[in-house]
Structure 1
Amino acid sequence: MVELPAFGRRLKELRMERGLSQAALAGDDMSTGYLSRLESGARQPTARVIAYLAERLQVDPCVFEEPGVGSVAEALALATSADGDEALQKLAAALELSPAVDPTLRWQALWLLADAHARRGARQEESVLLEELVRTSEELMLPELQCRARTQLARCLRTLGDIPRALKAGQEACRLAYDHKLSVQDTGAALLTLVSVEAEAGRLSDARAHADDLVELVAERNGTLRAEALWAAATVNFRQGDSATARDLLEQALTELDSRLDLVLWMRLRLAAASLYLQSSPRQLDECRRRLDEAESALSLVGTPVHQQEMLTLRVHLAFEEGRYADARAAHDELVLDELRLTYRDRIRLDMLHNRLLILEGQAQQGVQQLRELAERAQQTSNIDLAAEIWRTLAETPKD
């Protein structure tokens, strides 16, 4: 049975998972206005509409039915042993109807659901689950789980641009890791997140000290944690103005990480390198394009809609830096701005580029005003490093 508003939520989730705009899903036989009303729960779908949308999405019509609810333990077993959203929906429903469930089961369910939201780029929903995960870890009183919950929460809040809360969660995670002498994996993950938050907050000396601690911690290891540690250290060095060291550290990570170990991270490192080359002075546009082309080869295999948005965003920036302003505008307009799942920093930098294009297109007053508003917003949310970048961009941008 199809129920409102569950049908609308499910429809929108499936559409966004596939990176489709409302117009693309509606096709020639449905108006986008009608599709929008379906997604909002304002209209009840007919059987014919359900069949049409299922065909467009290439799913079985039964996926729109309200999932049945079993025990949390049963739902958790199903969700951990099967791919797809239906099992996760059943798990979420079971959890909602079982507030007094054993905290160990609740922990596992929340962790799994939060990870699913993170992979879709649904960061607001993820943050709600992670807040509950932190509270559940306090009930369990296990330092490892307390540390992991705060590490994930700090990472999510940083992505959302909520730097003060991210900083607090990251500091608490590191304190737990050191006080309880947790594993290199847990300590490294906590440090990695704290470094990234401190860098966003403009606390570069603290970030540099913790990045050095992190690189030393993983000096004898190989694999993903070491690659991420080198990436974090590269970011801090770059923001301190040492682009040569940043490039060397990131290239070291690129060289050391085998794609067979973690193809997603292999791809993300190349996107990070492309971004670094775009922002270097002088710009290294050929190197940027090379790294993007490498990442493109993995995107079709393991890329999510979020990764696709990151790739297109970098292509927009590359076109702008190459002086291909019409191409930059066209690529920018391909992005469905109200459905972006980029990090706060990447969304703001995309807004910066949009306003620089406005200035070049003869709308200088509007572009300059909106750049100022972006800088002020970044300052108000404690994204100090990002605010400084916007003010610098504004000062260097010709106004006529």
Structure 2
Amino acid sequence: MTGDQDDRLRIGRRIQRLRAERGLTQRALAEPAYTAAYVSTLESGKARPSETALRYLAERLGVSAEQLETGRPPHLATGLRLRLTDARQTLHTGEAADATAQFTELAAEAQRHGLADEQADALVGLGDCALEAGELDQAIGHFRAAEELLRQAPLPLRVPALRGRAVAHLLAGDLRYSCYLLESAIDQLNADGLPDPQALLLLYSAVIAPYLDLGAHQRAAQAAELALALAPQVDDPAAVARLHRSVARTLLAGGRAAEADASLARAQELYQQLRIRTELAHCHWMRGYLRAQNGDLPAAERELRTARRILADRQAALYTQQIDVELADVLRRSGRSTQAAALLADLLGSLHPQRGAVHAGAAHRLLGLIAEERGAHAEAEQHYRTALELLQQAGATADLADLCRLLGDLLRRTGRPEEALDVYRSGLGHQAAPGTTTLGPAPAAPPL
């Protein structure tokens, strides 16, 4: 049976059911404009009513023409949109589990009524909930399903789902694939003549993090500049706040700490107004990192513990574990290596190549430093080599050169100069082309 035949049968059954519910005969429904035979033909699915007939029959049956044609209650899409906004607000300010339940119900309801756009939005919401919980495979599945529903829609409408999937791959440690997804979308938007400012802002803000982890600082800075140029055209304060948080990372990587702090302050102010708790925690997290880089370890610890408390309350397990790695570094530098080692040991089973690979590498690097400080050279070497393997798999070039230096120094001090030279050479290779990656050409700038 073809889709058109299915539609005719559904409309016919709907007319028959509504007519019976109202106690009307076919003649009573049809006259004076039509005949009972015509209504019979419609109810049997042998014909499809014209637009004029549909409006006439709908008025006689006391429903809207859309409801008679589709079976959807009046204003259903508008109601679903309002409830999607409520679910998003629950995710921002309430419990993620409650938001998951809301999005699940909305996705099922939208699917039941054939509302693909609303179903896709609900699936993106479910993906965001799964991201917060650290369930990366679930998140990728939800985002993929949303993209599939919107496969015929213009690319700007698919960008939130695509961006979510790229973030999930980034958190899993697949940096290059995350970049590929985002760069491909940027290029396609510009090539198709669809430089939608909000879509591009989402993409440029998202691509900064994998660029920095890959060591592509020049590309990250360019993406930040382009995103800042787009910001005045975007009326979504959450997207603008996310932009300022991402830009702060590029400023910090460029040694511009004061400007990074100012950018974080702008992001934090917006997140406080919007009451987006998870993103607010990320601002505290970054400020903790910034304070640590400036040597203010007490302030760094305060910021990191504030971020950790918010995320732990949110049950955002993966983000909490990643903060613990940063906190362990502050503890070690504050002379509390035993406490730092205990914190890191608890994380090693949770962070692995498919879940937070970059932070897993950072945890092993710190454990190597702690082991080396107490003279456990074999243990330190094992941690350094594990960290190298994790970061190489992820493509996190930005940290590999420093790690090679640490391992080379250890090998040299323990009487293995030839091995040390090999490791140093590997580290120099990672430093050979700062600001570049093995990716293709950088995406073209949009016509601003």
TM-score normalised per structure 2: 0.60
The structure 2 residue matched to 1:248, chosen from 259, 284, 292, is 259
The structure 2 residue matched to 1:184, chosen from 188, 191, 197, is 197
Is 1:327 matched up with 2:339? Answer: yes
Is 1:287 matched up with 2:279? Answer: no
- Please tell me the residue identity of whatever aligns with 2:246: A
The structure 2 residue matched to 1:148, chosen from 137, 144, 160, is 160
Q: Secondary structure at the match of 1:202?
A: coil
In 2, the alpha carbon distance for the partners of 1:337 and 1:228 equals 30
Correspondence 1:1-400 to 2 at 5 A: 80=84, 83=98, 85-86=100-101, 103-104=116-117, 106-139=119-152, 141-178=153-190, 179-218=192-231, 223-239=237-253, 242-243=254-255, 245-255=256-266, 257-258=268-269, 259-264=272-277, 265-278=279-292, 280=293, 283-292=295-304, 294-295=306-307, 298=310, 304-335=316-347, 337-338=349-350, 343-395=356-408
Distance 1:165-1:101 versus aligned 2 partners, 3 A rule: farther
**Residue segments in structure 1 that go unaligned for 5+ positions in a row:** 1-72
Deviations 1:347-387 (A, max 9, x none): 32122212322333443213213312321342243222132
- Deviation of residue 192 (structure 1)? 0.7
- Deviation of residue 174 (structure 1)? 1.6
Distance 1:371-1:91 versus aligned 2 partners, 3 A rule: farther
Moved more, 367-376 or 172-181: 172-181
Deviations 1:98-132 (A, max 9, x none): 89966435423422321221121111221233233
Root-mean-square deviation (CA), in Å?
A: 3.9
- Deviation of residue 169 (structure 1)? 0.6
In 2, the alpha carbon distance for the partners of 1:220 and 1:87 equals 31
In 2, the alpha carbon distance for the partners of 1:163 and 1:364 equals 31
Contact 2:358 2:391 in 1 (8 A): no
Distance 1:94-1:135 versus aligned 2 partners, 3 A rule: same
In 1, the alpha carbon distance for the partners of 2:138 and 2:102 equals 18
* Higher alpha-carbon Rg: 2
Moved more, 326-335 or 144-153: 326-335
Contact 2:288 2:303 in 1 (8 A): yes
Distance 1:230-1:90 versus aligned 2 partners, 3 A rule: closer
In 2, the alpha carbon distance for the partners of 1:322 and 1:396 equals 23
Contact 1:91 1:109 in 2 (8 A): yes
Deviations 1:154-210 (A, max 9, x none): 222111111221111111222344344454332211101122222222222222211
Contact 2:361 2:390 in 1 (8 A): no
Moved more, 150-159 or 304-313: 304-313
Distance 1:298-1:114 versus aligned 2 partners, 3 A rule: closer
Distance 1:167-1:335 versus aligned 2 partners, 3 A rule: closer
In 2, the alpha carbon distance for the partners of 1:310 and 1:145 equals 31
In 2, the alpha carbon distance for the partners of 1:84 and 1:220 equals 30
- Please tell me the residue identity of whatever aligns with 2:327: R
Distance 1:226-1:176 versus aligned 2 partners, 3 A rule: same
Q: Percent identity?
A: 15
Moved more, 189-198 or 389-398: 389-398
User: Alignment length, in residue pairs?
Assistant: 321
In 1, the alpha carbon distance for the partners of 2:99 and 2:220 equals 38
- Deviation of residue 88 (structure 1)? 5.6
Q: Secondary structure at the match of 1:337?
A: coil
TM-score normalised per structure 1: 0.66
Contact 1:233 1:246 in 2 (8 A): no
- Please tell me the residue identity of whatever aligns with 2:147: V
Q: Secondary structure at the match of 2:215?
A: coil
- Deviation of residue 390 (structure 1)? 2.5
